[in-house]
Amino acid sequence: MNRLLALTLVLCAARTATAEPVVVVTDPPRRSEPTGVEPVPLPPPVEPAAKPDQVSGIAVDDEPRTSRAAWIPRALLFVPRLVFWGAVQPVRGAAYVYEKYDLRNRFFEATFTDDRRFGAYPVAGYNSNFGVTVGARVLYKDIFGDAERLELAADYGGEFLYAVGATLTTGNRLGPVRLELESSIERRPRDHFYGIGNGHEIATPPERPIDARVDDTAISSRFRQDLLRNVGSIRIKLSDAWKNRISGAWMKRELSRSPDTSMTDDKNIEARYDTSSLVGYETGIDNVYVENELSFDTRRPTTRFATQTLDATGWLVRGYVGMARGVDNDPTRYYAYGGEIQRYFDLTDGTQILALRVMVDAVGGADGRTDGRIPFVDLPRLGGSEYLRGYATGRFRDRAVALGTAEYQWGISNNASSYLFYDIGQPLASLTETPDGPIRMGFGVGLQFHTKNTFLARGQLAFSREGDIHFNLVFSPAFGRRERAGRY
């Protein structure tokens, strides 16, 4: 028995040494019972998102070229910016208070109802050529629920003895077509006249009145203009960028010597110019002007975090042709043409902007001097707070004018920005003739205030090549969007 047990153990040990390993499954998987519901497959793995600069499928450099070149204006303008920075710190503090305590909603828009459809607010401006202007604006927006707008305006002082007007637009009521009607009455007792052409200004009054038709000598004089203006326009939106505007303006004007008692008599236009040589001065002006303008406009802000009232990138290219005819006995008969190009460069995320502009205005069909076909107040002009800054309003006028502008803007707070500008321009007897006289240059600095969606005011100090100094406080950007008809 013992021998048999020992033999059995030996045989088992030998078998164990030569056999394959045995795998013991302690918890074998259970077969799932059918439930009648198909299993939901797992979603495929998500591809990694494209980089922001490759969303369009075209890879670009991580650093845009504009930011690479941003050091150029910074270096060139470092000293002017430093001086200007120190000078505007009090203004910057005022802008901070304005923004922090929401002064616009507390005061300027206090009369608006909850839906902001109606409001009235005061305005005030200053021009070193005319003095202080005060006024008021009354707005009624979204009249019938489709962005219709009625604006009433009144101004007193400065350039105006008084001015009242009303503007009505149809908003989105007619889809891509917008109608606008404007009517105003202005009495302007101190308008400037410096003659016709590009003559140098003289300070000593002439021995006899100057004949502006043959003499380019410029001397400061003033005249009074009583003006009734009625403007109607049809604006057609062809696409997001392309627009066409057909406008007509009927203007009736009476001209006379300035009644301003603060001036000596020899500063009036009748003492310094032979007014019989100025078309329309003695007979008055009553004419109609019709114009068609086509424009391509892609100007826009580059970020929603900056103010939406100042453009930071894009193009404006527009051209116009127009025709004027006299009513009743008015001899007016001429045509007008011209155009403008603007280009904006965003240097640093909407906080630093370079804006360039080239503009030409001209008239034809009349020589502007001897044939009596174009009133002297309708000749293209340069000077003032927008066109060739640094010179008085109306300083230059002739049958054509050309203007080039460079303006560098940078933000100093959410509600304020600064700018430096340089203007170059010249009045011309004709676009086809060789320019006569020196090129005129103006330059200066400015500060503009705005909210997220509203432009408030712009103050600028402008200098001319001849040493003139002018300060302006106005309520529109220098590169404004005003329409042409009735602009003058």
For the chain, the average pLDDT equals 82
Tokens of 307: 């103010």
Whether 7 is in a domain gets the answer: no
For 14-28, 129-143, 239-253, 354-368, which range has the lowest pLDDT when averaged over its residues? 14-28
Closest CA to 253 of 288, 285, 281: 285
User: Confidence class of residue 145 from pLDDT cuts 50, 70 and 90?
Assistant: confident
Tens of pLDDT, residue by residue over 335-362, are 999 999 999 999 988 889 999 999 999 9
Chain-centre distance for alpha carbon 26: 82
Adjacent-strand bridge partners of 337 = 321, 362
Predicted pLDDT of residue 24: 43
For CA atoms 119, 120, 121, 125, give the dihedral sign. positive
Whether 160 is in a domain gets the answer: yes
Tens of pLDDT, residue by residue over 191-216, are 999 999 999 898 888 888 999 988 88
**How many domains, the chain?**
1
CA dist list (Å): 465 to 79, 148, 400, 429: 21, 45, 21, 21
Q: What is the full DSSP assignment across 428-459?
A: ES-TTSPP-SPPEEEEEEEEEEE-SS-EEEEE
pLDDT at 67 over 70: no
> How far apart, in whole angstroms, are the C-alpha atoms of residue 17 and residue 14?
5
pLDDT at 22 over 80: no
> How far apart, in whole angstroms, are the C-alpha atoms of residue 385 and residue 249?
23
Whether 317 is in a domain gets the answer: yes
pLDDT at 75 over 50: yes
User: Confidence class of residue 408 from pLDDT cuts 50, 70 and 90?
Assistant: very high
Whether 212 is in a domain gets the answer: yes
Predicted pLDDT of residue 396: 95
Task: Please give the residue range of the domain that contains residue 299.
Answer: 117-474
CB 448 within 8 A of CB 455: yes
pLDDT at 264 over 90: no
Predicted pLDDT of residue 99: 58
pLDDT at 463 over 80: yes
pLDDT at 308 over 60: yes
**Please, is 37 exposed, middle or buried when counting C-beta atoms within 10 Å of its C-beta (0-12, 13-18, 19+)?**
exposed
Tens of pLDDT, residue by residue over 82-104, are 665 665 566 566 656 555 555 55
Tens of pLDDT, residue by residue over 218-229, are 999 999 999 999
How confident is the model over 275-282, as a mean pLDDT?
92
Whether 454 is in a domain gets the answer: yes
CB 288 within 8 A of CB 249: yes
For 221-225, 288-292, 412-416, which range has the lowest pLDDT when averaged over its residues? 412-416
Predicted pLDDT of residue 367: 84
Enumerate helices (H) and strands (E) in the chain, giving the number of each.
Answer: 7, 18
More confident residue, 40 or 190: 190
Closest CA to 337 of 298, 306, 294, 303: 294
> How far apart, in whole angstroms, are the C-alpha atoms of residue 458 and residue 438?
29
Predicted pLDDT of residue 332: 94
Predicted pLDDT of residue 475: 85
How confident is the model over 451-469, as a mean pLDDT?
91
Whether 26 is in a domain gets the answer: no
Q: Enter the pTM of the model.
A: 0.76
Predicted pLDDT of residue 191: 93
Whether 318 is in a domain gets the answer: yes
Tens of pLDDT, residue by residue over 108-137, are 444 444 456 888 888 888 998 889 999 999
- How long, in residues, is the chain? 488
Tens of pLDDT, residue by residue over 23-60, are 444 444 444 455 555 555 666 665 555 554 444 444 44
CB 103 within 8 A of CB 416: no
Adjacent-strand bridge partners of 346 = 353
Beta strands in 238-375 (DSSP E): 242-257, 285-297, 314-326, 333-346, 352-364
CATH code, domain with 172: 2.40.160.50
Whether 90 is in a domain gets the answer: no
